[in-house]
Amino acid sequence: MTMRTAIDPKYLIVFLITLVLVVGEARYHILGGYPRLATTLGVCLVTETLLSWWLRGRVANLASAYITGISLALLIKPQANILWPFALGAFIAIASKYVLTYRGRHLWNPSNFAIALLVLVAADSVAILSHQWGNDISTNLVIWAFGLVIAWRARVLHVTLTYVACFIVFALLRHLIVGGPLFAELAPITGPMYQLFVFFMVTDPRTTVSTKRGRMIVVAIVALVETLIRLAGDYQIELLRPFYVSPPILALAMVGPVALFLDLRRTARAAA
């Protein structure tokens, strides 16, 4: 048996998100306290266990809940020393997998949905992790090296690379339109928020469309919508102000479910 078939990609992803957590906390203390991690992970695991047993008659594999819990613990940054956003976000994330479904598939990536909802309805209390690794080349190399290998192993590397390429192109375009330092436009992709985004959210197999070409098109649209939100912020368009807190998270929350819904309906019609 080869290494390619011996290790389930799901557990490689568990390793990767744990690596992001350990490196980020050890070097930059991005977690903000272990009670946050314990609260988020605990609620995610308990909610997944109870809902899967109650609604499906069996206890689901908890790897997905673990990934969701780590993502939320890292990304949610409350404005005060409070724990309720972590508990509520964890419950919303896991519950969305059982409620917001179509043809047996949940439409939103769980952590993406929970974070998008929290920053839209509780913007005064909840923010998003904005720390960047910056010029710390060793940290970036470790995370990206493992991330790219695991994305390849999980057969989602094309999704990650398409998004990164589009991000760079649109960052250059935005630089030409609004000016300012080019590095400031490119730097976010080095941060932990974007690493979680490109390796876990946009690649989530349960919430992406069925074809390779379709997945690439969808993430390109996500990158485009993100850029439009950023440009709207540059020109202070009041209507889109709620979206300025986290353009990539909210762009995926809008584009991803619509794309998946249309893809599921198309495949159902084709099979009829």
Task: Based on the fold, state whether residues 54 and 95 are members of the same structural domain.
Answer: yes
Flag whether the pTM goes above 0.85: yes
Domain boundary among 84, 111, 128: 128
**What tens digit of pLDDT does each residue of 84-105 get?**
999 999 999 999 999 999 998 9
SS (H, E, C) 155-205: CCHHHHHHHHHHHHHHHHHHHHHHCCCHHHHHHHHHCHHHHHHHHHHCCCH
Looking at residue 249, what is its pLDDT? 96
Domain boundary among 109, 128, 147: 128
Looking at residue 62, what is its pLDDT? 94
List Cα–Cα distances, 40 to 11, 43, 93, 227, in angstroms.
20, 5, 10, 30
Provide mean pLDDT across the span 53-71.
94
Provide mean pLDDT across the span 20-48.
90
Point out the least confidently predicted range of 29-38, 168-177, 244-253.
29-38
Provide mean pLDDT across the span 229-257.
93
Q: How many domains does the chain have?
A: 2
Q: Say what angle helices 110-121 and 247-271 make with each other, to 10 degrees.
A: 130
138 in any annotated domain: no
Q: Which residue has the higher pLDDT, 143 or 41?
A: 41
Instruction: Report the distance separating Cα 103 and Cα 252, nearest Å.
Output: 20
Task: Based on the fold, state whether residues 118 and 179 are members of the same structural domain.
Answer: no
Looking at residue 136, what is its pLDDT? 65
**Average predicted confidence (pLDDT) for the chain:** 90
Instruction: Report the distance separating Cα 238 and Cα 216, nearest Å.
Output: 31
Bridge partners (DSSP) listed for residue 102:
105
Instruction: Report the distance separating Cα 165 and Cα 142, nearest Å.
Output: 20
Cβ neighbours of residue 101 closer than 8 Å, sequence gap 6 or more: 107
Instruction: Report the distance separating Cα 34 and Cα 242, nearest Å.
Output: 29
**What tens digit of pLDDT does each residue of 138-163 get?**
777 888 898 999 999 889 999 999 99
Task: Based on the fold, state whether residues 199 and 120 are members of the same structural domain.
Answer: no
Pair 73, 94: CB distance under 8 Å: no
Kindly indicate the confidence band of residue 255, based on its pLDDT and cuts at 50, 70 and 90.
very high
Provide mean pLDDT across the span 5-22.
81
Name the residue range of residue 199's domain: 156-267
Instruction: Report the distance separating Cα 245 and Cα 214, nearest Å.
Output: 28
List Cα–Cα distances, 130 to 127, 154, 237, 245, 246, in angstroms.
9, 27, 22, 10, 9
Kindly indicate the confidence band of residue 7, based on its pLDDT and cuts at 50, 70 and 90.
low
